[in-house]
Structure 1
């Protein structure tokens, strides 16, 4: 087993193939970020400037979710890897924001929610990465 294959799963949630699981993950991410984007618009319109920043991030993630859906449809490994990298950056930012919430506010609940969502997203990244590896073999270094 090479270092690239240390974190690879054979399927998604023990009952779906990697391809089906990746497609489900792409659709769930798309719906989640559409909902978050709508909430960002709501916040922005109501005078919360962070809402517009959230909307910008959600638009980027909506685009990457669509890219992943297309990648699964066409079995394009590079599109799946692009989603993996975008999501990894998103998880890193979520963890940083969670730490900042704990440091600068009393919003421990919001930080816990961010950490739980980050943990779920890490599992999603592992599944999509495993799917990408399955498309063209173990030489993927994502």
Structure 2
């Protein structure tokens, strides 16, 4: 039995999953990759704008060195590349109706959105009343909730394929 019967826009689960795959490829994967490369090319400006505390680098790397920025941006690029790969696998899985090709995107997106949701809560807790931080925290929570719903849509399509509704 599927979790959802239709996508929120009124289209079926297959069309919604395909649209979600393309949107996540472009909005998250490619945007994050371009942003990471831009920040790497402008490392001095990036270091000025991003402050690395000992809590972030766990005391392993000097927060004032370029190494902290390179490590952070390297992880950002790695996550972007993985997200592009799982988004392409999702799109191929939806097109060919292969249910197990949907699972990498579901798991990776769900984990990313749980981390983003926790980050939004931490942003609200540490806002100290600054409006920009509160607005950014609320925005991150809204986007995280939306992507958790998108994960439910793709997982519902996985269940529909498993039940034989799309064969």
Interval of TM-score (by shorter of Structure 1 and Structure 2)? 0.7 to 0.9
**Gap regions ≥5 residues in structure 2:** 47-68
Give 1:22's match in structure 2, choosing from 10, 17, 24.
17
> Match of 2:6, SS?
coil
**C-alpha displacement of 1:76:** 1.1
- Aligned ranges 1:98-117 → 2 under 5 Å: 98-105=120-127, 106=130, 107-117=133-143
* Alignment match, 1:78: 100
Give me the whole-angstrom Cα distance separating, in 1, the residues matched to 2:141 and 2:77. 20
Structure 1, gaps ≥5 residues long: none
Paired with 2:74 and 2:140, the residues of 1 have a C-alpha distance of 19
Secondary structure at the aligned position of 1:70 is classed as: helix
Native 8 Å contact 1:98 1:112 kept in 2: yes
Partner of 2:86: 64
Match of 1:35 among 31, 43, 68: 31
Q: Could you state the TM-score of these two structures normalised by the residue count of structure 2? A: 0.71
Whether the 8 Å CA contact 1:39–1:51 is kept in 2: the answer is no
CA contact (8 A) 1:94 1:114 kept: yes
Q: Distance in 1 between matches of 2:92 and 2:17?
A: 11
Structure 1 stretch displaced more, 88-97 or 100-109: 100-109
Counterpart of 1:95 in structure 2 is 117
CA RMSD of aligned residues (A): 2.0
Q: How big is the shift at 1:14?
A: 4.4
Deviates more, 1:34-43 or 1:44-53: 44-53
8 Å contact from structure 1 (residues 94, 118) kept in 2? yes
Aligned to 2:50: none
